[in-house]
Amino acid sequence: MVREHLLSLTKKDFTVTTFKSGGKGGQHQNKTDSGVRVKHNESGLWAESRDGKSQHHNKKVAFRRLARTPSFISWLKMKSNEIITKTTIAQKVEDMMSEENIKVEVKVDGKWVDEKEVKNG
């Protein structure tokens, strides 16, 4: 069974900003942009990390924190339900539009007649 992705998030969906984190770590943290803030653009939710000395490490931590927040999890569930509902409705419409469910009528001598009767008659 092949699984399809329901929702995909990429780097384009986030804004990553860096800042001088200050606090413990002395001059290193005061001189380098090691703090990282990650914002998910569509939901407006964000998380940050300034714990480590490395910007790379802080970026990983910030993404993890954002992904684990109850607000972001709630947003993901809402977005998934929205996608599933649209897919389900589209599939129902497609099923209803099958040939046996469509009646085509044509006007013959001023009267509407089933197209099948005209072809057979």
1 domain residue, yes or no: no
117 domain residue, yes or no: no
Domain count across the chain? 1
Q: Which domain holds residue 80?
A: 11-96
Please state which of the ranges 20-24, 63-67, 72-76, 103-107 shows the lowest mean pLDDT.
20-24
29 domain residue, yes or no: yes
Q: Are 89 and 80 in contact (CB under 8 A)?
A: no
5 domain residue, yes or no: no
Total residue length of the chain? 121
Q: Compare 26 and 119 and report the one with higher pLDDT.
A: 119
22 domain residue, yes or no: yes
Per-residue pLDDT of 44-90, as tens digits, reads 999 999 988 889 999 999 999 999 999 999 999 999 999 888 888 88
24 domain residue, yes or no: yes
pTM reported for the whole predicted model: 0.67
116 domain residue, yes or no: no
Q: What is the CATH number of the domain that holds 84?
A: 3.30.160.20
